[in-house]
């Protein structure tokens, strides 16, 4: 019997809990800043996931050296979000 709790069903509660923690710690001061913070975090995660998927495909087709270069744009984007 499969568990009704999947990874996808845990995303929203985790985001809500993290949002509460972020507001509680005072990292952001308004709900508007929190929405922007969560949005950029999700965009960064999606971009990283897409880039790593492309890198895995390229690594399978051509070799590991070229695929590593594909991960740099997403890392730079995540660094800029963090800054």
pLDDT recorded at residue 83: 44
- Quick check: is 20 in a domain? no
Q: Which residues span the domain enclosing 50?
A: 40-83
DSSP state, 65?
Answer: H
- Quick check: is 80 in a domain? yes
- The span from the CA of 31 to the CA of 27, in Å, is 11
* pLDDT tens per residue, range 3-62: 554 555 556 566 666 666 666 677 667 778 777 777 877 777 777 777 777 777 777 776
Average pLDDT over residues 62-76: 61
- Quick check: is 25 in a domain? no
pLDDT recorded at residue 1: 47
- Separation of first and last alpha carbons in the chain: 45
In the chain, the number of structural domains is 1
Claim: this prediction has a pTM higher than 0.85: no
Average pLDDT over residues 59-78: 62
- Quick check: is 31 in a domain? no
DSSP state, 40?
Answer: H
- The span from the CA of 38 to the CA of 48, in Å, is 15
Residue reference for tokens 């660094």: 79
């Amino acid at each position: 019997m499969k568990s009704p709790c999947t990874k996808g069903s845990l995303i929203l509660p985790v985001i809500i809990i993290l949002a509460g923690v972020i507001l509680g710690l005072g990292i952001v001061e308004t709900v508007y800043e929190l929405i922007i913070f969560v949005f950029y975090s999700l965009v960064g995660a999606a971009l990283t996931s897409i880039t790593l998927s492309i890198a895995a495909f390229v690594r399978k087709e051509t070799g590991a050296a070229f695929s590593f270069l594909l991960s740099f744009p997403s890392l730079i984007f995540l660094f800029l979000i963090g800054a």
